[in-house]
Amino acid sequence: MSNPNNNNAEHLDEAVMPSAEQVKAYLQAHPDFFLRFPELADEIRVPHEKKGAVSLVELQAEQLRERSAERQERINRLLAVAQQNERIYRLYAELNLKLYQCESIDDMTQTLQSSIEQQFELETVRLITFKNNEADTQEWRDFKAKRFKDTHFFFGRMPQSENALLFGDVKAESVALMLLGQEGELGLLAIASNEPGHFSPEMDTLLIAQLQQLMTLLVSKAMS
């Protein structure tokens, strides 16, 4: 026969038992709780995916190790990006110096091909000049209207028909294009990569815009 006093005690315990949210709020308001009751940190067992159950201290130590590993991974990624950016800045500086020394369109083309294809390790580059209305065809007009609506730049992927217009049979999975001249009247610099994600609409344009400005000055001078 059950003891009514025990039943009353159980009902009383359930009535005053704090909810999980109340426990959470209490611990947040009293961060020194486990300092005052250190024995609980070892007694409390927390479910663990791999170990079954661990103490609160073990769980905290594991979480600290994981956060430390994540921070180190982020640092390593940032260092890798910084090293890559440093290499790119250096290559651009060398390319700009070489281009300054060019005296003709052919010199510029050879310099661009040597630097971009070999040092930048890209698929190919083409410098197309719009002299004598060579690009004044419907195909070219449609292409420029499509790719350069509000800007002198295009980065990303194109259909094979457009790739063939610029690069012939060379494989181009992604491209960087820049018109030369204030109105794009001088020509077009086209760079191709065999990697689909190498050039994308989200990429930073700082360095390539500087190259576009330099090429505009040099091509204008060479064509005058």
pLDDT digits (tens, 9 = 90+) for 191-208: 999 999 999 998 888 888
The residue range of the domain holding 46 is 17-65
Q: Are residues 138 and 203 in the same domain?
A: yes
Q: Are residues 58 and 161 in the same domain?
A: no
pLDDT digits (tens, 9 = 90+) for 150-184: 899 999 999 999 999 999 999 899 999 999 998 88
What does the CA dihedral 204, 206, 207, 210 come to, rounded to 10 degrees? 150
Q: Are residues 143 and 213 in the same domain?
A: yes
CATH of the domain at 127: 3.30.450.40
Q: Are residues 59 and 151 in the same domain?
A: no
Total number of domains in the chain: 2
Q: Are residues 160 and 49 in the same domain?
A: no
Structure tokens belonging to residue 135: 């690009």
**pLDDT category, 9, cuts 50, 70, 90?**
very low
What single string gives the DSSP state of each residue in 106-166? HHHHHHHIIIIIIIS--SEEEEEE-GGGTT-SHHHHHHHHHH-SS-SEEEE---HHHHHHH
pLDDT digits (tens, 9 = 90+) for 76-122: 888 877 776 787 788 888 998 999 999 899 999 999 999 988 888 89
Q: What is the pLDDT of residue 12?
A: 44
Q: Are residues 198 and 113 in the same domain?
A: yes
Q: What is the pLDDT of residue 92?
A: 84
